[in-house]
Each structure stands twice: as C-alpha cells, then as structure tokens.
C-alpha cells in the first residue's frame, strides 16, 4: 500500500509541468492585470457618473423602437456578450458582440478600432441606424424628462444646458464609460497560479500554458496581462457566410477614427494632448490593414463564444483547430507575409491549450453591477 503510494507520488512528480526561469519571466508578464486611468474622461472614476451610466446601460428607451438597450446585446449573465455570431439591434449587424468586461483596458475600441477612447464608443452605438438608431437630442430628452436620471445628471454634471447638445452627448457617453470601467473580471485561476498557488492550474492547463508561450507562438499577438498587443492583424478567418472578403476591418476604420467627433483629441476630450490623441493624429493607412481586426483579449474567453469578428467560430475547439491547420485561411493579399504557420497540434496539445484558455475565466463583477439599478429600488418593484 505504502509502496503504491510512493510510486504514484513519484509518477506525479515526474509528470508535473515545470517551467524554466526564462518561461517564468514570461509567465509573470501575463499577470496581474490592472487598469490604467483614461485621462481623456474626467468622470471615469466618479461613482455617481458610473451609477448614471449603469442606469443608461439598461434603459431600452434610448432606442428608436424602445426595445433595445446596451444590455440587450451585452447580457451580464453571458459575460456581457449575446451568444450570437452576429447580433440584431434595430437591424441585423455584421460583427460579433465583444464583451464589455475589462473593455476599459483597451487601446482601441470595436473590432476595427474606430474609436480611440471608451467614451467615444457609446454615442456611436446609440446613433447607429442598425443598433439603437436614436438621435443624441432624443436620448438627452429621455434623461431630462426622467426624474431619477435628471437628478443624477445634475449631481454629476450640474444643470443640463439644453443648447449644448454635443457637449451633453459627450457627457452621456462618459457616464456610460465610467460604468463600463467598473466592469472588471481579471482575477482568474491563472492569476492565482502566477501569484504562487501551484495547484490553481491543472497539469493539462500548465502544459497548455507552456505551449501558448513557446511553440504555439500565441504570445506574438496575445501578450501582456490583457493577452493582446492592442494592434490589428489578420488570422485568415473567412467571412461568416463564405464568399470573398468584404469587411475591410482596420483599413476602413482609420478615416473614421481620425475624423471622429468624439475622440481623444477632440474638443470634448479632457486631455486632448494625451498620448492617445497624439497617436490617433499620426496613424498611417497601410495596405496591410485591409481585413485586419484587433487582437482580442483572451481573458474570460471560455465564456464569450462565438469567436472572431463575425462569430465565425462557434467553440474554442474550432478556434484551436483553425490555428492548428489554417485550413480555410483567407488573405486579402496573397503576397502578404503572414507570421502564422499551421501548428499541426496533437489531440493532447489541443486539450491542453483549451484547458489553459479556460483557466483565464474570472468571476463576474459584484452583483450590484450586473442589473438595472431601477429594479433594485422598492418603488419600481412589482
Ligand atoms: C444590437 C446589439 C448591440 C447593442 C444594442 C449595443 N452593442 Fe455594443 N457592441 C455590439 C457589437 C456588434 C460590437 C462590435 C461592433 C464592431 O466592432 O464593429 C459592440 C462593441 C461595443 C464596445 C467595444 C468593445 C471592444 O472590445 O472594443 C463597447 C464598449 C460597447 N459595445 C458598449 C455598448 C454600449 C455602452 C451600448 C449601449 C449604448 C451598446 N454597446 C449597445 C453590439 C451591441
Ligand atoms: C498574428 C497575431 C496572432 C497570433 C499569432 C495569434 N492570434 Fe489569436 N487572434 C488574433 C486576432 C487578430 C484575432 C481576431 C481575428 C478576427 O476576428 O478576424 C484573434 C482571435 C483569437 C481568439 C478568439 C477570441 C474572441 O474573443 O473571438 C482566440 C481564442 C485566440 N485568438 C487564441 C489564440 C491562440 C491560442 C494562439 C496561438 C495558438 C493565437 N491566438 C495566435 C491575433 C493572433
């Protein structure tokens, strides 16, 4: 009995995944994840502003048919996604709904990065004909006429000057961004492992981690505590319904971001001299950007299926299969150099890589951030 125990202990020891000093150095660069404040939004860290933003996030009245709220597509229980390949607002959309959890850490927003700040995003969505299709002045009217929202607005921004429509639209956007900034989910088993809990990852996940940082080459694009380089690439994903590539991705977004009304360098920014603003001013349009999309963060990725910019892959297995075979790889430019080569993974390597990606799932944020604050109040309870 004792002998058996000894043998099994030795066997475990031998099979246990070990990392070299160099690998540990890389692993430590992937955790912990923390947010950097966005100086272009002076209301970002303001709790009252975030509460107003939370009210607005769940409010269906801010859509032309009164049926679409931000939370219609960014569903809290689904890690703020909608589980669909592409979603439908007022009309069908052409891109997959990314999570807004941890969104505040990003360098660029949307799959193509057509917003350079988080607060530059909500107003675009509200006014988008396929998403919420609401004019900014109609959206502001909803706030003005609602007792609760109006008093919260006054609290954060002071009296609403009705002539300053654009200024107010920027404030509305900044309040929603303040709410989204609170939606952090970045404390996963992987982080416990890096912090010293060697049992936080299974042996399979540890092998997957090693593959990820070495032979898998994933780290070339998915690096740092948010597992993204904040840049744009093509990994050869064909369109959702086949046919030729149509979505120009980053290429088409560059004119949009440099001319955006609500941007880091605009008159509505609270830090128009920031690095963000300077970089936007100087982006060049390159041919290689055609069909490139932002490298997504991999935190909580096991909970945010389907995957890729148009939800072309239903499961993590499908994504891993893609990187393993590159079978249906499409490229806008056949001469383009690609850093991807088929990984020809074994069945075990695929399971291990998946186990590692699953170890990046953190718990959802505090429950009070996950629902319409109105529903928590007794006078609205049914
Ligand atoms: C009809 C579904 C739908 C609605 C409603 C919706 N979104 Fe989205 N959201 C999306 C899709 C799809 C994208 C990606 C679009 C793209 O990349 O072109 C997105 C992207 C985003 C992003 C960028 C995330 C990232 O990682 O870059 C944020 C932030 C966001 N939405 C917040 C909001 C807010 C705030 C509202 C309400 C004002 C809202 N969304 C309403 C579907 C929706
Ligand atoms: C050349 C840069 C690059 C490399 C290398 C790379 N990725 Fe990606 N990854 C991306 C980009 C860009 C996307 C989004 C592509 C799109 O939507 O068209 C993506 C998407 C993903 C997704 C889907 C995430 C989501 O939310 O939809 C997963 C999972 C993923 N990659 C994992 C990996 C793994 C694992 C490896 C290593 C085997 C890897 N990636 C290597 C750039 C890269």
Does position 8 have pLDDT exceeding 90, yes or no? no
> Measured from the CB, is residue 235 less than 6 Å from ligand 2?
yes
Inter-residue contact 283 to 254 (CB < 8 Å)? yes
Cα–Cα distance measured from residue 303 to residue 357, given in angstroms and rounded to the nearest whole number: 10
pLDDT tens, position by position, 89-111: 999 999 999 999 999 999 999 99
Whole-Å CA distances, 281 to 174, 239, 332: 21, 31, 26
Q: What is the pLDDT of residue 15?
A: 56
Q: What is the pLDDT of residue 162?
A: 87
What pairs with residue 88 in β-bridges? 92
Q: If DSSP states are collapsed to H, E and C, what string results for the chain?
A: CHHHHHHHHHHHHHHCCCCCHHHHHHHHCCCCCCCCCCCCCCCCCCHHHHHHHHHHHCCCCCCCCCCCCHHHHCEHHHCCECCCCCCECCCECCCCCCCCCCHHHCCCECCCCCECCCCCCHHHHHHCCCCCCCCHHHHHHHHHHCHHHHHHHHHHHCCCCCCCHHHHHHHHHHHHHHHHHHCCCCCCHHHHHHCCCCCCCCHHHHHHHHHHHCCCCHHHCCCCCCCCCCCEECCCCCCCCCCCCCCCEHHHHHHHHHCCCCCCCCCCCCCCCCHHHHHHHCCCCCHHHCCEEECCCCCCHHHCCCECCCCCECCHHHHHHHHHHCCCCCCCCCCCCCCCCCCCCCHHHHHHHHHHHHCCCCCCCCHHHCCCHHHHCHHHCC
Q: What is the pLDDT of residue 243?
A: 87
| Residues 47-53, mean pLDDT to the nearest whole number | 98
Q: What are phi and psi of 289, to 5 degrees?
A: -80, -10
Inter-residue contact 113 to 229 (CB < 8 Å)? no
Q: What is the pLDDT of residue 250?
A: 95
Q: What is the pLDDT of residue 334?
A: 61
Q: How far is the CA of 99 from the centre of ligand 1 (A)?
A: 8
CATH number of 47-185+367-380: 1.10.760.10
Inter-residue contact 259 to 244 (CB < 8 Å)? no
> Measured from the CB, is residue 323 less than 6 Å from ligand 2?
yes
Cut 0.85: pTM above it? yes
Q: Looking at the CA of residue 95, tell me the nearest atom of ligand 1.
A: 12
Looking at the CA of 293, name the nearest ligand.
2
* Domains in the chain: boundaries: 47-185+367-380
Mutation probe of ligand 2 site: the residue of 221, 239, 247, 329 with most atoms within 8 A of C-beta: 221
Q: Looking at the CA of residue 234, tell me the nearest atom of ligand 2.
A: 12
Share of the chain above pLDDT 70, in %: 93
Inter-residue contact 183 to 105 (CB < 8 Å)? no
Task: Tell me the torsion sign for CA atoms 49, 297, 82, 293.
Answer: positive
Candidate from 70-74, 106-110, 328-332 with smallest mean pLDDT: 328-332
Q: Looking at the CA of residue 338, tell me the nearest atom of ligand 2.
A: 1
pLDDT classification of 16: cutoffs 50, 70, 90? confident
Which residue CA neighbors atom 6 of ligand 2 most closely? 218
Helices 165-182 and 47-57, packing angle to 10 deg: 100
């Amino acid at each position: 009995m004792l002998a058996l125990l000894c043998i099994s202990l030795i066997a475990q020891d031998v099979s246990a995944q070990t990392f070299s000093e160099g690998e540990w150095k890389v692993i430590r660069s992937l955790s912990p994840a923390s947010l950097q404040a966005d100086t272009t939004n002076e209301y970002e860290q303001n709790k009252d502003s975030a509460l107003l933003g939370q009210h607005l996030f769940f409010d269906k009245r801010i859509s032309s048919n009164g049926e679409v709220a931000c939370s219609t597509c960014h569903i809290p229980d689904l890690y703020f996604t909608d589980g669909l390949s592409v979603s439908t607002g007022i009309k069908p959309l052409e891109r997959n709904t990314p999570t807004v959890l941890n969104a505040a850490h990003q360098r660029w927003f949307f799959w193509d990065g057509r917003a350079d700040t988080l607060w530059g995003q909500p107003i675009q969505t509200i006014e988008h004909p396929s998403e919420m299709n609401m004019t900014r002045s109609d959206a502001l009217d909803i706030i003005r006429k609602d007792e609760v929202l109006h008093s919260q607005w006054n609290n954060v921004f002071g009296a609403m000057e009705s002539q300053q429509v654009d200024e107010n639209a920027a404030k509305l956007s900044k309040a929603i961004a303040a709410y989204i900034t609170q939606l952090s989910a970045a404390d996963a088993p992987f982080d416990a492992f890096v912090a010293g809990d060697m049992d936080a990852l299974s042996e399979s996940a540890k092998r997957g981690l090693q593959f990820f940082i070495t032979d898998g080459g994933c780290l070339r694009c998915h690096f740092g505590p948010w597992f993204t380089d904040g840049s744009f690439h093509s990994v050869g994903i064909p369109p959702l319904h086949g046919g030729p590539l149509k979505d120009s991705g980053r290429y088409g977004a560059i004119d949009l971001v440099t001319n955006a009304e609500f941007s880091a360098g605009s008159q509505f920014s609270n830090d128009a001299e920031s690095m963000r603003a300077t970089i936007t001013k100087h982006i060049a349009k390159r041919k290689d950007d055609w069909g490139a999309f932002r490298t997504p963060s991999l935190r909580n990725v096991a909970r945010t299926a389907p995957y890729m910019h148009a939800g072309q892959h239903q499961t993590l297995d499908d994504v891993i299969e893609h990187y393993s075979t590159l079978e249906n790889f499409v490229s806008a430019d056949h001469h383009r150099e690609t850093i991807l080569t088929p990984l020809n993974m074994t069945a075990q390597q695929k399971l291990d890589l998946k186990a590692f990606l699953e170890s990046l799932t953190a718990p959802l944020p505090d429950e009070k951030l996950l629902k319409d604050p109105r529903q928590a109040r007794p006078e609205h309870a049914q």
